[in-house]
């Protein structure tokens, strides 16, 4: 779908692999491009798989003002007012079933399992994968032994990490056969992260809420930029859906346009192509 730049009133950006690369910081060129579109009256929002507390510094760094879409859209919260617009959690029964699956003897030693509850990260134990995750996310992991002990409260998201991307791919495919889309939303945000959320949650429904319910816009007023399979729904929803050059081919195939990579400041190129 092609629309003129004047149609776009909302730009939605993913964080990792989109506005943030290896340095884990937003480059100055990206900030300047975002400020330029904001000066033209385009509002800018973030949609990320990250925890709210982990996404907040990027939100502030970018000068965003709209509610922040985190956990793939499972939690939409306004940092300015503290208002929670949406909080959809994983049913306890599903969380227990996933845990049983992850703790099979052949998988238990290979997967690091993360439960996100009330914007805190709970793990069975601190693994090297968890340490790397915590370092990049600037959060603290709380080791609890048996994760069943924290399921008095339903998780916002469940993550299983493994350096073996083939195992993550196999896990995703296996669990997609067990669960209907109406039971759980299953995705990968990077090749080594398997993620599960409430079935109503994805970045597409989050962006739709922000655009239509919160701002009174239509899909053709929205431009989205992302780099992985958890971005597909928002890329497909938007009038202009952009995939990063570092995105998997399956994601690029869904996009209206493919930008350069994150390390080449592809977001700047996309903004210049469509909005400036």
Catalytic site residues? Answer: 14
DSSP assignment of 36-91: HHHHTT-EEEEB-SS-HHHHHHHHHHHT--SPEEEGGGTEEE-TTT--EEEE----
CA distances in angstroms from 103 to 56, 61, 109, 125, 264, listed in the order given: 32, 39, 8, 13, 40
Radius of gyration from C-alpha coordinates of the chain:
18
The neighbour count for residue 216, using CB atoms within 10 Å, is 9
Closest CA to 111 of 122, 95, 99: 99
As a whole number of angstroms, the distance between CA 167 and CA 181 comes to: 21
């Amino acid at each position: 779908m092609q629309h003129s730049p004047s149609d776009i009133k909302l730009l939605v950006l993913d964080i990792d692999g989109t506005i943030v690369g290896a340095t884990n910081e937003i480059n100055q060129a990206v900030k300047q491009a975002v400020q330029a579109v904001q000066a033209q009256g385009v509002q800018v929002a973030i949609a990320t798989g990250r925890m709210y507390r982990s996404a907040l510094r990027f939100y502030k760094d970018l000068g965003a003002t709209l509610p922040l879409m985190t956990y793939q859209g499972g939690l939409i919260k306004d940092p300015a007012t503290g208002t929670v617009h949406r909080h959809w959690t994983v049913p306890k029964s599903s969380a227990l079933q996933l845990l049983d699956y992850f703790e099979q003897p052949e998988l238990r030693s290979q997967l690091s399992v993360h439960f996100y509850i009330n914007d805190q990260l709970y793990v069975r134990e601190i693994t090297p994968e968890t340490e790397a995750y915590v370092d990049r996310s600037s959060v603290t992991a709380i080791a609890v032994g048996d994760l069943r002990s924290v399921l008095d409260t339903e998780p916002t998201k469940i993550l299983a990490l493994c350096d073996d991307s083939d195992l993550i791919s196999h896990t995703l495919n296996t669990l997609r056969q067990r669960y209907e889309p109406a039971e759980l939303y299953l995705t990968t945000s990077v090749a080594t992260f398997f993620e599960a959320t409430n079935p109503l949650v994805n970045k597409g429904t989050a962006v739709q809420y922000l655009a239509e319910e919160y701002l009174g816009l239509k899909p053709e007023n929205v431009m989205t930029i992302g780099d992985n399979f958890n971005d597909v729904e928002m890329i497909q929803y938007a009038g202009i859906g952009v995939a990063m050059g570092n995105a998997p081919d399956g994601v690029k195939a869904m996009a209206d346009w493919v930008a350069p990579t994150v390390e080449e400041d592809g977001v700047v190129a996309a903004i210049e192509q469509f909005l400036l």
